[in-house]
Structure 1
Amino acid sequence: MSLNWIPLESNPDVLNSFIENLGVTTDWKFVDVYGFDDESIQFIPSPTVVSIILLYPLSEVEDGIPVGDSSPVTDKDVYFMKQTIGNACGAMAILHAVANNTNTVTFTEDSSLKKFIDKTKDLSPYDKADLLVNSTEINNTHHDCAQTGQTVAPDPTSHVDCHFIALVQVNGVLYEMDGRKQGPVAHGPSSADTFVSDAIKVCRKYVDKNPQCLRFTAVALCKDPF
């Protein structure tokens, strides 16, 4: 990966600034997921959640025991993009979260993100990635938002030891979207009604591979509950 971005902080304010500046209407927000236990997930506004983004620590344990196998995209409604930009996994997760829910998430009239999704939806995963590299607006928005977190923004070339993935439901199937893989990972049947509980089960599988680690965090993309 010759191009590197400043990594995004797993902070709803940062992620919301990113999507708002790219033209997602302000009634759609990322909110914290406070835990993966049954009690904590009661606080997730389930009826309107369309994606859960998980941040997990990269390690030999995480990479050595995959939660599932990736496969070529067979459903034309599934939007999948390869990650070819270093430290861009946060942006990739956001793009996958939004692009696989354009029938639900709403956009401003001149949304640059919606234009990008429409322009790239029928392209191959690598061709999508090429257009992302050349998208000045998304590049600039990411650069600005990556410097607004609560911690000092690292150098773009810094090694990052955590990774974002997005979980979405498309046409009754739960998918894990990870731009490092060759395709989406299908985790079985799901629905709008069961999506949150289904997605949390996948998150728990990641936690169970490294139960002593406390560095797992997640956010949910939903219609603003407030």
Structure 2
Amino acid sequence: MSGGWNTIESDAGVFTFLLNNLGAKDVQFEELLTLEPEVLAELHPVYGVIFLFKYPTDAPYAATDKPLDGTFDHEAAERIFFAAQTIQNACGTQALLSVLLNKDKEGGSSESGTGIDIGTPLREFREFTMVLPPEFRGEALSNSELIRDVHNSFAKSSPFVDETQRTSGEAEDAFHFIAYTPINGTLYELDGLQPAPISHGACAADEFPAKVMEVLQRRIARYDMSEIRFNLMAMVRDLRVRAREIGDAEALEREEQKRRDWQFENALRRHNFVGFAGAVLKGVVEDKLAEGGDAAYEKWIEEAKAKTRQRLENKRKGGGDGDVEMGG
């Protein structure tokens, strides 16, 4: 049940501007393409990571006695922000908030020197929900108009409905976001589908890159070798801040360009380009007809069909032409 929440993509630009639009200051996301701890450590300070993975359907996911890795820390749910997930499509934003709301430097929920200015609206939301049990925190999150509206503003436009999804009988793969973050000397896995925060043992802030990668490697190892659809993003301090502090003009311009690119991509996500594509196609057809009438048009159609058949044949033979895009 979506409850009015739309699916958003697992993309650093989406999650960074989601953070900013919720009111958080000087914080961003960076996508990680490797599980090497050194790569994560270079982004210091790192507040936490968000991991996207295929939701397992062949075995029970949530346990009441003990998790597959680590141990449940039921008492921690009273000290840190942990919310049960009550809405399906909200898990990306919920994972983001699981890190963010435990790093508020003014609310006393972060370790010294590692906090984030999460802004007044989220600070008030945190203060209100911390007196509630996790299941009611999840309900409060799902019913927050501010959080839901910001989340939905990054939903990808889907002008076409694939009717085969309703009739094929094949279940569509589901994906899930969870968060890992060090809190008060402990590495926690925060997953709203589990009954409590999961402790992965003692972890100082500077040990986080190495220890979280060990946990993630064990988790990925539980999947078949052919499963590669994982995504990992780190919540870090705005890299422009560091560039300004050390006077690195080149790095600053690179980060500013990245923000401009993200803004452009996010704007594209909100638009339906069906009308535009139709107008382009109409113009191309008119040009072909003007070139040589119906004969030129028919020749163009046959050439396009031949190219399509060739691409399909290449794919059947394993010849590529088949990029796969996965969203969260």
Q: How many residues align?
A: 216
Structure 1 residue identity aligned to 2:28: K
Q: Distance in 1 between matches of 2:160 and 2:143?
A: 23
Q: Report how far residue 30 of structure 1 moved.
A: 0.6
Q: TM-score, normalised by structure 1?
A: 0.85
Task: Evaluate the alpha carbon distance shift between residue 213 and residue 44 of structure 1 in structure 2; reply closer, same or farther with a 3 A threshold.
Answer: farther
The answer as to 2:27 corresponding to 1:28 is yes
Q: Report how far residue 76 of structure 1 moved.
A: 4.0
Structure 1 residue identity aligned to 2:226: Q
1:71 and 1:182 in contact (8 A); partners too:
no
Q: Report how far residue 75 of structure 1 moved.
A: 6.3
Q: Distance in 1 between matches of 2:80 and 2:133?
A: 11
Structure 1 residue identity aligned to 2:151: H
1:23 and 1:114 in contact (8 A); partners too:
no
Structure 1 residue identity aligned to 2:21: N
Q: CA RMSD in A?
A: 2.6
1:14 and 1:146 in contact (8 A); partners too:
no
The answer as to 2:141 corresponding to 1:142 is no
Q: Report how far residue 172 of structure 1 moved.
A: 0.6
Indicate which of 120, 125, 129 corresponds to 2:134: 125
**Other-structure match for 1:37:** 36
Indicate which of 45, 49, 52 corresponds to 1:52: 49
Show CA shifts across 1:193-217 (max 9, x none): 1011111111111111113311111
Task: Evaluate the alpha carbon distance shift between residue 31 and residue 67 of structure 1 in structure 2; reply closer, same or farther with a 3 A threshold.
Answer: same
Q: Distance in 2 between matches of 1:11 and 1:62?
A: 28
Q: For 1:210-225, what aligned pairs fall within 5 Å after superposition?
A: 210=223, 211-225=225-239
Q: Which runs of 5+ in 2 are unaligned?
A: 106-114, 167-171, 241-328
1:175 and 1:185 in contact (8 A); partners too:
yes
Show CA shifts across 1:92-147 (max 9, x none): 10110101111201134xx4222211221222101111212221111111111223
The answer as to 2:113 corresponding to 1:105 is no
Q: Matched residue of 1:220: which SS?
A: strand
Q: Matched residue of 1:82: which SS?
A: coil
Q: Distance in 2 between matches of 1:154 and 1:53?
A: 29
Identity over the aligned pairs, expressed in percent? 27
Structure 2 residue identity aligned to 1:48: P
- Runs (4+) off by over 6 Å: none
Structure showing the higher strand proportion among its residues: 1
Q: Report how far residue 58 of structure 1 moved.
A: 1.4
Q: Distance in 2 between matches of 1:2 and 1:220?
A: 26
Q: Report how far residue 222 of structure 1 moved.
A: 0.6
Higher mean Cα deviation, 184-193 or 2-11?
Answer: 2-11
Q: Report how far residue 67 of structure 1 moved.
A: 2.9
The answer as to 2:198 corresponding to 1:185 is yes
User: Which has the higher relative contact order, 1 or 2, with Cα contacts under 8 A spaced 6 or more apart?
Assistant: 1
Q: Which runs of 5+ in 1 are unaligned?
A: none
Q: Report how far residue 154 of structure 1 moved.
A: 9.5
**Other-structure match for 1:19:** 19
Show CA shifts across 1:23-64 (max 9, x none): 001x200111111135xx425534200101111111236949
Task: Evaluate the alpha carbon distance shift between residue 133 and residue 63 of structure 1 in structure 2; reply closer, same or farther with a 3 A threshold.
Answer: closer
Show CA shifts across 1:60-84 (max 9, x none): 3694983344341336432110000
Task: Evaluate the alpha carbon distance shift between residue 63 and residue 130 of structure 1 in structure 2; reply closer, same or farther with a 3 A threshold.
Answer: closer
2:78 and 2:133 in contact (8 A); partners too:
no
Q: Distance in 2 between matches of 1:37 and 1:175?
A: 19
Q: Distance in 1 between matches of 2:98 and 2:86?
A: 14
Higher mean Cα deviation, 130-139 or 58-67?
Answer: 58-67
Q: Distance in 2 between matches of 1:153 and 1:85?
A: 23
Structure 1 or 2, whichever has the larger Rg, is 2
